[in-house]
Amino acid sequence: MCGIVGYIGSKEKKSIILSGLKELEYRGYDSSGIATMSGEKIDCFKAVGKLSNLEEKTKNFTSDGFGVAIGHTRWATHGKPTEINAHPHLGEYSFVTHNGIIENYQEIKDELEKDGVNFLSQTDTEVIVHLFEKFNEELKDPFKAFEKTISKLVGSYAILIISKAAGDTIFFAKNAVPMIIGQDDNGEVFFSSSDAPLIGYVKDVVYLDDKMYGYAKKGVVEIYKNHKTIKPQKHALPTDRSYAQKEGFRFFMEKEIYEQSTVATETMMGRVKNGTIKFDEISPEIFDGIDEIVLCACGTSYHAALTASYLFERVAKIRTKVEIASEFRYKEPFLNKNSLFIVVSQSGETADTLEALKIAKDAGLKTLAICNVDNSSMVRLAGNVILTRAGIEKGVASTKAFTTQVMTLWMVVLYLANLRKILSNDELKNETKALLNLPKVLEVDPKLHEKIRRISKHYLHGHGFFFIGRDVFYPLALEGALKLKEISYLHAEGYASGEMKHGPIALVDEGLFTIALLPKNTLYEKTKSNVEEIAARDGFVLAISPLEFELSDDFIKTSEQEHFMSEFFEMMVVLQLFALEISIRLGNDVDMPRNLAKSVTVE
Ligand code: F6R
């Protein structure tokens, strides 16, 4: 989830691009870069880390006079966050910036390399600029070359190209990630990934639709789709920057819940293909001789790991253990040399998980980090890494990171099951079909959100919450309870439904809320009996299920899904929205709950 800006005009280009990037920093910033062109003069600067590093690097540079400029903040998905991998990427005489993932970059790269093109970076993006220049040499027409380039790309992209071949022009294209264009009264043109950088420069903007592309010069913006010119509708820009950064949502957490559908696509891009699973970043050998999986994490990431443990055992038929990192560190663990030790972490910096990883590594175990932040301590330390590609997560309460962790782990399970020939082709196809359906499952239905907002008022009093479920819905219950307690400060616990009768049910009375996860595909009757026991003791029950449950006091109907993991993710969204709406009603700061930090780098 990177950020992109572009500008055509006579103002000081560096300042416009840098101030635009500043507004986009919330989208991710492991590195950033800028390229400006005035006439034949091209300048490019890149820096690793925060945007202030790029500001420092460009402090003595000015770019007055008419020209074009593009800039980028990066959140690494292919290649480390280094200067070489930062955008803009250079061909011979053109620069490109890109958000998204080019799924078929390896095929394109192989062909270009055969033609003698040298690649500098490890990114998927660099192929775009070389392809553009190759076609420009063939066609001697930069726009036709751009059109042809776009037609070869598979994946998601917001692309800006500047080139000496058309010094007054920016070429642009958009598919599956946002791109916005605005023009001021003097015909100067501005591009951005979101509204915030454009506020103050233009009054209205065009939100490009997927597969739109075109070119812009001063006073001219030509937009095409399927080779035909489009005259898209303009929309007034919001005027409040912080509102614009949250893209119209009240809190970053809310925005991140809504983003889950998009990031799910990114997580799978290039990995779920033709009915099977592929990871460019790991080699099958890491599973050689492995007879056990040990998953280790904290908090929400622990819940993702616990969810995955059911899948590893059931689908990949391998013994699996899950460890809370803070416990693992001091329990003098008895380690099996044939275990693959997997740490799961959004930040890659959590002290307990990092220490656990060191213990496993020192003991000679093979290690794998499932992480959202490239170049983080865990990514640097682990023997193998798979990035979850959730983009930066601003809300302290983790939402989209959890989604991508569970998805990535599920993909690893399928990868292993396929490697060991445990699943038939049809079974694997069925699983990948369920994965590919997730972006749809994760889309937030506004009617559902409104219903949750309305019923949330029933839950502001009482003496606590039980979240209950079975199988993978047990870790989901734990996660639902954690989300609620983190941001509402209400007392909530997650339990395995079958455990209620072994003690917790003693707490049930009319002041205790039970949030019951009743999926159709997993142990429905068993969980239902547990909920009936609670209803019989006058507990207040919110049932979340595709099947009507007559004993519930509140009911949220989910869809009839074919796969239990689709039910899992649909219910997860319900639980996230439930916690959010209760917390908003209580007047809490959802994004920065008391006593919590986004990254826990202390013991
Ligand atoms: C809860 C939450 C935390 C983290 C935990 C581990 O919403 O975000 O429980 O999951 O602190 O953090 P990471 O995943 O960065 O290792």
Q: Which helix (H) or strand (E) holds 528?
A: helix 524-536
389-417 pLDDT, tens digit per residue, is 998 888 889 999 999 999 999 999 999 99
pLDDT of residue 1: 62
In a domain, 571, yes or no: yes
For residue 94, how many C-alpha atoms fall within 13 Å in the half-sphere facing its CB?
28
428: how many CB neighbours lie within 10 A of its CB? 19
In a domain, 602, yes or no: no
pLDDT of residue 309: 98
CATH number at residue 61: 3.60.20.10
In a domain, 591, yes or no: no
pLDDT of residue 238: 78
Contact assessment for residue 54 and residue 93, using Cβ atoms and an 8 Å cutoff: no
pLDDT of residue 28: 65
Contact assessment for residue 265 and residue 407, using Cβ atoms and an 8 Å cutoff: no
Angle at 219 between CA 216 and CA 225, to 5 degrees: 40
Dihedrals phi, psi of 559, to nearest 5 degrees? -80, 160
Contact assessment for residue 144 and residue 87, using Cβ atoms and an 8 Å cutoff: no
Tell me, in angstroms, the distance from the centre of ligand 1 to residue 275's CA: 32
Q: Probe ligand 1: pick from 347, 392, 575, max atoms within 8 Å of CB?
A: 347
| In the chain, % of residues over pLDDT 90 | 81
pLDDT at 76 exceeding the cut of 90: no
Phi-psi region of 274 (alpha: psi -120 to 50; beta: other; left: phi over 0): left
pTM of the prediction? 0.85
- The answer on 67 and 215 residing in a single domain is yes
> In ligand 1, which atom is closest to the CA atom of 401?
14
The count of structural domains within the chain is 3
- 602 falls in which pLDDT band (50, 70, 90)? low
pLDDT at 338 exceeding the cut of 80: yes
For residue 380, how many C-alpha atoms fall within 13 Å in the half-sphere facing its CB?
7
321 CB-contact burial (10 Å; exposed 0-12 / middle 13-18 / buried 19+): middle
The two structure tokens encoding residue 52:
């202030």
Q: Which whole number is the average pLDDT over 97-112?
A: 93
Top-confidence residue, 163 or 551: 163
pLDDT of residue 374: 84
Q: Which whole number is the average pLDDT over 176-202?
A: 92
In a domain, 601, yes or no: no
Exactly one of 218, 321, 520, 598 is catalytic; name it. Answer: 598
> In ligand 1, which atom is closest to the CA atom of 350?
16
The two structure tokens encoding residue 400:
């989209």
Contact assessment for residue 227 and residue 213, using Cβ atoms and an 8 Å cutoff: no
Tell me, in angstroms, the distance from the centre of ligand 1 to residue 301's CA: 6
The two structure tokens encoding residue 575:
């639980």
Tell me, in angstroms, the distance from the centre of ligand 1 to residue 179's CA: 31
- 553 falls in which pLDDT band (50, 70, 90)? very high
Q: Which helix (H) or strand (E) holds 71?
A: strand 67-74
2 is a catalytic site residue: yes
Under 8 Å CB-to-CB from 347, ≥6 apart: which residues? Answer: 371, 372, 373, 376, 598, 599
End of a domain among 212, 245, 278? Answer: 245
Exactly one of 2, 296, 298, 371 is catalytic; name it. Answer: 2
Q: Which helix (H) or strand (E) holds 473?
A: helix 473-488
- The answer on 159 and 27 residing in a single domain is yes
Note the residue count of the chain.
603
- 598 falls in which pLDDT band (50, 70, 90)? low
By alpha-carbon position, which residue is closest to atom 9 of ligand 1?
A: 299
Contact assessment for residue 180 and residue 191, using Cβ atoms and an 8 Å cutoff: yes
To the nearest 10°, report the CA torsion of 392, 395, 397, 401.
-20
pLDDT at 601 exceeding the cut of 80: no
pLDDT of residue 196: 84
By alpha-carbon position, which residue is closest to atom 3 of ligand 1?
A: 299
In a domain, 48, yes or no: yes
- How distant, in Å, are the alpha carbons of 446, 549, 554 from that of 457? 18, 21, 12
- 596 falls in which pLDDT band (50, 70, 90)? confident
Distance CA 351, CA 342 (A): 15
Q: Which helix (H) or strand (E) holds 324?
A: strand 319-324
- The answer on 392 and 541 residing in a single domain is no
Cβ < 6 Å from ligand 1: which residues?
298-301, 345-347, 350, 353, 397-398, 482, 486, 599-600
The two structure tokens encoding residue 263:
């990031």
- The answer on 171 and 36 residing in a single domain is yes
Residue type (1 letter), 462: G
Contact assessment for residue 551 and residue 540, using Cβ atoms and an 8 Å cutoff: no
By alpha-carbon position, which residue is closest to atom 16 of ligand 1?
A: 345
290-314 pLDDT, tens digit per residue, is 999 999 999 999 999 999 999 999 9
In a domain, 599, yes or no: no
Q: Which whole number is the average pLDDT over 322-350?
A: 95
Q: Which whole number is the average pLDDT over 343-348?
A: 96
- The answer on 183 and 39 residing in a single domain is yes
End of a domain among 223, 245, 267? Answer: 245
Q: Which whole number is the average pLDDT over 198-204?
A: 93
- The answer on 411 and 543 residing in a single domain is no
Which residues make beta-bridge pairs with 266? none
Comparing 10-24, 69-83, 86-100, 160-174, the range with the smallest average pLDDT is 69-83
513-542 pLDDT, tens digit per residue, is 999 999 999 999 999 999 999 998 999 999
pLDDT of residue 176: 83
Tell me, in angstroms, the distance from the centre of ligand 1 to residue 578's CA: 19
CATH number at residue 326: 3.40.50.10490
Q: Probe ligand 1: pick from 345, 393, 394, 484, max atoms within 8 Å of CB?
A: 345
- The answer on 399 and 515 residing in a single domain is no
End of a domain among 192, 212, 245? Answer: 245
Question: What's 208-276 look like in SS3?
Answer: CCCCEEEEEECCEEEEEECCEEECCCCEECCCCHHHHHCCCCCCHHHHHHHHHHHHHHHHHCCCEECCE
Instruction: Please choose, from the candidates 557, 559, 578, 177, the residue with its C-alpha nearest in 3D space to the C-alpha of residue 399.
Output: 578
Distance CA 21, CA 86 (A): 14
> In ligand 1, which atom is closest to the CA atom of 302?
10
- The answer on 403 and 266 residing in a single domain is yes
pLDDT of residue 182: 96
- 194 falls in which pLDDT band (50, 70, 90)? confident
pLDDT of residue 371: 97
In a domain, 104, yes or no: yes
241-273 pLDDT, tens digit per residue, is 777 788 889 999 999 999 999 999 999 999 998
- The answer on 111 and 175 residing in a single domain is yes
By alpha-carbon position, which residue is closest to atom 5 of ligand 1?
A: 299
The two structure tokens encoding residue 122:
């490890």
- The answer on 531 and 401 residing in a single domain is no
Contact assessment for residue 73 and residue 25, using Cβ atoms and an 8 Å cutoff: yes
Tell me, in angstroms, the distance from the centre of ligand 1 to residue 401's CA: 9
- 472 falls in which pLDDT band (50, 70, 90)? very high
Q: Which whole number is the average pLDDT over 22-49?
A: 88
Angle at 266 between CA 260 and CA 268, to 5 degrees: 105
To the nearest 10°, report the CA torsion of 23, 26, 29, 32.
-20
Tell me, in angstroms, the distance from the centre of ligand 1 to residue 335's CA: 25
Which residues make beta-bridge pairs with 384? 368
Comparing 135-139, 208-212, 225-229, 375-379, the range with the smallest average pLDDT is 375-379
Distance CA 241, CA 283 (A): 45
Domain with 232, as residue range(s), is 3-245
- The answer on 155 and 52 residing in a single domain is yes
Q: Is the preceding omega at residue 88 within 30 degrees of 0, hence cis?
A: yes
The two structure tokens encoding residue 145:
């070359």
What average pLDDT does the structure give for the chain?
Answer: 94
In a domain, 594, yes or no: no
Distance of CA 459 to the CA centre of its chain: 30
- The answer on 167 and 130 residing in a single domain is yes
- 441 falls in which pLDDT band (50, 70, 90)? very high
| Burial track 3-30 (b if 16+ CB lie within 10 A, e otherwise) | bbbbbbbebbbbebbbebbbbbbbbbbb
